[in-house]
Amino acid sequence: MSYSKRQGSMQPADTEQPTMLTLQEQRLRIQQLERQAQAEYSAAKEILENDQKAPHGGRTLSRLLSKPGLSMESLVEREKRRRCTLIEQHNGLQCSVRAKGSQLLEMEQAMKALELDSNTDGDEQHYDQRVRELENSLEKMTIKITEAERIQKTYLRVCDHLHREVREMPMALDQLQNSVVSGQTELGKVAHMSHTAVAAVDCTKLVQMERQLMVERRMMEKELSERRGVKEKEVEGRLEREREGERRSSKGAQKLKEQVRRGTIREGLAEESAHRAQQTAPVSTTPQSIVKLVEDIDALREALSCTDLQELETRLVSQKAIREQLHNQMTQCEELVRQSMETFAALELQYAQLKFSAGPSSDRFERLKEEMQAELEQEEERCSHWEDKLGKAQSVLHGVEKGVNNLFFRMSCVQVKDSPRELGGLDAIEKLREISTRLPTLQTTASEKTEENTADHEKVWSFLEQSTMMEPRNYKRASSPVYDSTSEDTFQFRGQEEDCSMSRDEIKRRSIQLIEVHQPKKKAQKSNTKS
């Protein structure tokens, strides 16, 4: 039994058997009894003091007498009764104090006897410390056991789920294989039908091309016959002309010309026959192959229950799309099977590692602590980086707001028709809007050329010069006193030219005046004509 349990289970009945308690518990019990007796004694003393002071005080008596409906005798009787009850309480408290004192003396004697008899106090403390250590280790072990049981339950659930999936995998694989086999058979049929359809389409195209070539051949034969007739007529005309010439020439020359003419005619006929044979050669197709292709096309149309070639082509395209979709589904299923097998193998390896080479919880805790510390440092660095960026952005924003305020105060003197009278309490965006509304008016006023009157201008400048010269702030004040306090002979008046100094505005005005004086006279003449 631990120290806390023994202290909580201590009761007043234990005082009857003091030999069964330890020395430390006896001391604590004695201290508690002393405190209780002292508190009771102080309470009784306060009650008696209050009772003695109550009749002599004028305030309590006046309060009691001030109540209406109470006579002096009733008040005296009530106070006597109250005093009797207080005396009885005091006597009872004194009796209890005496009993507690006697009990305390007995317990002190028992404690002295126990101190004399007990020599194994160090052993008991050592045993108590050992018991506390064992209790702490037991609590730690219970916590670890609960965590291990929870991990084991989760692992068993994962294993059951994986085993269930593995049991269901063969059925899913069989279904997929059956679907693949059926898809392959359908694909074979569709491929055969597509091949036959393609062959039929090719045959139809060939038949159409053959018909076109036959038509072209007939047209070319007509053209050749017409050209042949024209050429024969030309040849006959030439022959007649040559015969007339030959009659005039000698007989030897006539024979040579006839031989040359016959050779040229034969060469032209040979070239025409070769050209005609080349044109008619690629169209030579047997009627048996054409009939066979037509029969295949009809059979394919009956099998697919379609009469139009365009519909046949659309069906072939849809069959190809279905084939590709089935192939993609097969690859996806194979990929899922492979991933599930990999996860199962990884979980088995993890189970084996946890079962045979499980490290202590302190190592895991240190590892987790290091990882969390590294993540915390990274987050702190990132937060500091963002704080620096935020500070820079805030400084830039403050500078921008300051510039906007300065520009707004400068632009507030520009008068606008629809401008509000109260410009206080505006945000930076509202100030920018006000500036944008006042800028066009400022541009228009700056672009306008003011007509100046030279005489009035000179009068104004002279008046301003005199007023600035008369202002006291434009006089210099010496840092040292005018005269020396030691001797009155050093007193000297300062000149007015030395004391006078021009301000920046005065310097600017005089420079502008000098520039205007030295300007050419044409501008002055123009200004006079305008005035």
Predicted confidence (pLDDT) at residue 16 exceeds the cutoff of 50 = no
Position 22 in a domain: yes
- Whether 267 and 402 share a structural domain: no
Q: Are residues 341 and 273 in the same domain?
A: yes
Looking at the domain assignment, is residue 199 inside a domain?
Answer: yes
Of the listed ranges 48-57, 205-214, 441-450, 501-510, the one predicted with least confidence: 48-57
Whether residues 186 and 57 share a domain: the answer is no
Q: Which of 20-34, 283-297, 393-407, 412-426 has the highest mean pLDDT?
A: 393-407
Do 279 and 329 fall within a single domain? yes
Neighbours of 194 (CB within 10 A): 20
Same domain, 24 and 110: yes
Percent of the chain with pLDDT over 70: 63
Question: Residue 265 corresponds to which amino acid?
Answer: I
Same domain, 435 and 509: no
pLDDT at 62: 47
Q: Give the integer Cα–Cα distance in Å for 8 and 11.
A: 8
Cβ–Cβ contacts within 10 Å for residue 264, how many?
Answer: 10
Q: Tokens for 119?
A: 């020599």
The pLDDT score that the predictor gives to residue 22 is 61
**Long-range contacts from 344-349, C-beta under 8 angstroms, 24+ separation:** 344/162, 344/166, 347/158, 347/159, 347/162
Residue 478 has pLDDT above 50, yes or no: no
On the question of pLDDT at 10 being above 50, the answer is no
Q: Which of 446, 480, 510 is the last residue of a domain?
A: 446
The predicted pLDDT at position 117 comes to 64
Q: Give the end of a domain, one of 119, 143, 168.
A: 119
The pTM of this model reads: 0.22
pLDDT at 397: 84
Residue found under tokens 């084991």: 152
Nearest CA to 468 out of 496, 511, 504, 512 is that of 504
Q: Binning pLDDT at 50, 70 and 90, where does residue 312 land?
A: low
* Rg of the Cα atoms in the chain: 65
How confident is the prediction for the chain on average, in pLDDT? 71
CA dist 465 and 502 (Å) reads 10
Residue 421 has pLDDT above 50, yes or no: yes
- Residue 468: inside a domain: yes
Assigned domain for 138 exists: no
Q: For residue 287, what pLDDT is reported?
A: 57
Task: Write the pLDDT tens digit of every residue in 44-63.
Answer: 677 767 766 655 444 444 44
Alpha-carbon gap, residue 207 to 224, rounded angstroms = 25
User: Looking at residue 9, what DSSP letter applies?
Assistant: T
* Res 39: pLDDT: 78
The three-point CA angle 488-494-499 to 5° equals: 145
User: Where is the domain boundary, 324, 349, 374?
Assistant: 349
The yes-or-no verdict on residue 37 having pLDDT over 50 is yes
**119 versus 53: which is more confidently predicted?**
53
- pLDDT band, very low/low/confident/very high, at 32 (cuts 50, 70, 90): confident
Residue 488 pLDDT exceeds 50: no
CB atoms within 10 A of CB 21: 20
Q: Is 173 a domain residue?
A: no
More confident residue, 255 or 96: 96
CA distances from 51 to 86, 98, 233 (A): 8, 22, 173
Euclidean distance between CA atoms 383 and 380, whole angstroms: 5
Same domain, 247 and 300: yes
Same domain, 104 and 64: yes
Out of 5-9, 224-228, 278-282, 414-418, give the one with best mean pLDDT: 224-228
List helix spans (H) across 307-360.
309-356
How confident is the model at residue 257, as a pLDDT? 59
Same domain, 202 and 249: yes
pLDDT of residue 520: 64
Where in the sequence is the domain holding 35, given as residue range(s)? Answer: 3-119
Pair (328, 298) in one structural domain: yes
Residues shown for the chain: 531
3-state percent helix, strand, coil for the chain, nearest multiple of 5: 85, 0, 15
Give the Cα separation of 79 and 267 in Å (integer). 171
Is 502 a residue whose pLDDT tops 80?
A: no
CA–CA distance, 530 with 452 (Å, rounded to integer)? 9
Q: Is residue 101 part of a domain?
A: yes
Percent of the chain with pLDDT over 90: 0
**Is residue 308 packed enough to be buried (19+ CB in 10 Å), middle (13-18) or exposed (0-12)?**
exposed
**465 within some domain:** yes
The confidence band for 495, taking pLDDT boundaries of 50, 70 and 90, is: very low
Three-class HEC string of 468-523: HHHCHHHECCCCCCCCCCCCHHHCCCCCHHHHECCCHHHHHHHHHHHHHHCCCHHH
Please spell the DSSP secondary structure of 438-467, one letter per residue: HHHHHHHHHHSPPPPPHHHHHHHHHHHHHH
- 35 shares its domain with 72: yes
Domains contained in the chain, number = 4
Shared-domain flag, residues 318 and 396: no
Residue-level pLDDT at 90: 81
Burial of 75: CB neighbours in 10 Å, binned 0-12, 13-18, 19+: middle
- Give the lowest-confidence range in 53-62, 155-164, 234-243: 53-62
Q: Is 211 among the domain residues?
A: yes
Give the N- to C-terminal CA distance of the chain in Å, as an integer.
120
Q: Residue 529 pLDDT more than 70?
A: no
